[in-house]
Amino acid sequence: MKTCSLEQADKHEFAVHQVIYSNADIEMWYDWHTRLNDTKFTDQCYWVQCGEDRIGGVIKLDDTIMHLFVIPPFTDRQQLWEMLLACCQDIRYMNGVLQEDVPILLALGFEVVVTRQVMCCPASNSRKLELPPGFSLHPIDDSIQLSAFIQPMRDGYQGGVDQKAFGARHDGKIMEDLAYLMKVYQHRNLSIYMMNEQNREIVGLCLAGIYENMPLGFAEIAEICVVPSYRSKGLAAFMLHHVKQSASADTDVVKLCVTMGNDAERLYKKAGFQAGPPFARMKKSSNHIG
């Protein structure tokens, strides 16, 4: 097998090559400059050299690699991965792995931790919304203590695919995430929650908004969950469409990221969300020998 080496790359030149040759806008940015900047978050970017030939590029952060691409006329992705892993034997984790590379890495001793995809939908105020009977809708703002959402979020994600992939969040982490998102979305907060009017119980919530530096001014849904005993009542669908309508005054697009295998995938597609390219997080298998 041929051997390869890594050569430090100029960030801008690397980003140009990555955007062109990766052939995958996994974040669904729809914008050249945004995609360039998305790649230039680190200077740890390298050309993959085979002798005098530049055959690919990769970002390497300690034991993690991401954003691998192949540079024509070289085309053999499997050979590139084999050479790269032989050259960098400390690699344990892979982020943003495209689906065409997953079978290659499975054969090379890596396993999938989680597969995700970004989804986008036009913001719209054309649909007439009907609030599910017995429930009321409220904004998440300074009038309510964020701690009131800890239990509904814990219950909403209990046993789901996200919990299996990322682990259960303790109450302190949930509170930290809530506070962070409220700060991020203070530019234009679209977050809402739903309440059972009979017992005044919070039964679902959607954390969404537009943060000031969001590329192209897109709105984003960061979290949406419904307490298990209140599912199949149209609450999640109502919140999704409400956010789309609320966002339409400020933006053309609402986006989110979903873990594949999540039941919410069907809900998002039914609500008009279009999926971008799936991407996986992988790690070296503990069962791999070699």
User: pLDDT, tens digit, for every residue of 32-75?
Assistant: 999 999 999 999 999 999 999 999 999 999 999 999 999 999 99
Q: Are 165 and 216 in contact (CB under 8 A)?
A: no
Q: Name residues whose C-beta falls within 8 Å of residue 62's C-beta, 6 or more positions apart in sequence.
A: 90
Q: Name residues whose C-beta falls within 8 Å of residue 225's C-beta, 6 or more positions apart in sequence.
A: 152, 153, 156, 157, 204, 205, 236
Side chain identity at residue 113, one-letter code: V
192: alpha, beta or left? (left if phi > 0; alpha if psi -120 to 50): beta
Q: Are 189 and 182 in contact (CB under 8 A)?
A: yes
Give the span between the Cα atoms of 233 and 267, in whole angstroms: 13
Give the span between the Cα atoms of 239 and 261, in whole angstroms: 21
pLDDT band at 163 (very low <50, low <70, confident <90, very high): confident
211: alpha, beta or left? (left if phi > 0; alpha if psi -120 to 50): beta
Judged against a pLDDT cut of 70, whether residue 185 lies above it is answered with yes
pLDDT digits (tens, 9 = 90+) for 195-237: 999 999 999 999 999 999 888 999 999 999 999 999 999 999 9
> What stretch of H or E contains 120?
strand 110-122
DSSP per-residue letters across 2-69: ---EEEE--HHHHHHHHHHHH---TT----HHHHHHHHTT-S-EEEEEETTEEEEEEEEETTEEEEEE
pLDDT of residue 89: 92
Give the span between the Cα atoms of 262 and 242, in whole angstroms: 21
pLDDT of residue 198: 96
Question: What distance, in Å, lies between the first and last C-alpha atoms of the chain?
Answer: 16
Mean pLDDT of 144-155: 94
* Nearest alpha carbon to residue 105 among 68, 60, 144: 68
pLDDT of residue 10: 97
Q: What is the mean pLDDT of the chain?
A: 93
